[in-house]
Amino acid sequence: MSEALHIVCPACDGLNRAPTARLHEAPRCGKCKAPLFQGRPLALDQGNFQRHLERSDLPLLVDFWAPWCGPCRMMAPAFEAAAAELEPQLRLAKVNTEENQPLAMQFGIRSIPTLALFRAGRELDRVSGALDQSRLTAWVRQVLAR
């Protein structure tokens, strides 16, 4: 990673520059003063998905899910715990495919839950099906180490 990273604020979608060495010091948004890392997944939709995907220098792990999906609901606590463990090295986000069908179509989501890992706007890998926290974090670390 470079000396400073561009990070999209989870509260106002403002773009911030933060020194890489200081990411663990609870940086705040220069625009709205909200914490840039909240230790929980961010809900993204058609309005802000592209900004977080393309403008942030952090890898983005997206959980494509639906409220009616039992495995999605079962995996939600593990995904939440993974966010607390993996931030600030990457951003975790959830996309409700029922409310954001064009995004699901854009990324060819055919089964849920589907986890897709992106870096610099490009999809690195994806996995379908519910994962527990340890398998989820191991998969992310393995993909990012490639």
The CATH number for 51's domain is 3.40.30.10
Any domain includes 8: no
Q: Give me the residues paired with residue 146 across strands.
A: none
Any domain includes 138: yes
Of the residues 9, 12, 29, 69, only one is catalytic, namely 69
Selection from 53, 35, 36 nearest residue 44 by Cα: 53
Any domain includes 29: no
Q: Which amino acid is at 108?
A: G
Helix (H, G, I), strand (E, B) or coil at 127: strand
Write the pLDDT tens digit of every residue in 90-105.
Answer: 999 999 999 999 999 9
Cis peptide before 71 (omega within 30 of 0): no
Any domain includes 1: no
Any domain includes 63: yes
For all residues of the chain together, what is the average pLDDT?
95
Asked whether the predicted pLDDT for residue 115 surpasses 90, the reply is yes
Any domain includes 6: no
Instruction: Look up 32 and say whether it is catalytic.
Output: no
Helix (H, G, I), strand (E, B) or coil at 103: helix
Any domain includes 137: yes
pLDDT at 80: 96
Asked whether the predicted pLDDT for residue 40 surpasses 50, the reply is yes
pLDDT at 146: 86
Instruction: Look up 69 and say whether it is catalytic.
Output: yes
pLDDT (mean) for 101-118: 96
What is the domain count for the chain? 1
Torsion of CA 79, 84, 88, 92, to 10 degrees: 20
pLDDT (mean) for 21-39: 93
Of the residues 9, 12, 32, 72, only one is catalytic, namely 72
Question: Rounded to whole angstroms, how far apart are CA atoms 4 and 10?
Answer: 18
Q: Which residues of 22-35 are buried (b: 16+ CB within 10 A; e: fewer)?
A: ebeeebbbeeeeee
pLDDT (mean) for 1-7: 80
Name the one residue in this structure whose structure tokens are 């802000």.
48
Asked whether the predicted pLDDT for residue 2 surpasses 70, the reply is no
Write the pLDDT tens digit of every residue in 65-98.
Answer: 999 999 999 999 999 999 999 999 999 999 999 9
pLDDT (mean) for 43-52: 96
Any domain includes 33: no
Residue 38 has, within 13 A of its CA and on its CB side, a CA count of: 15
Q: Which of 23-27, 53-57, 67-71, 116-120 has the lowest mean pLDDT?
A: 23-27
Domain residues for the domain of 120 are: 39-145
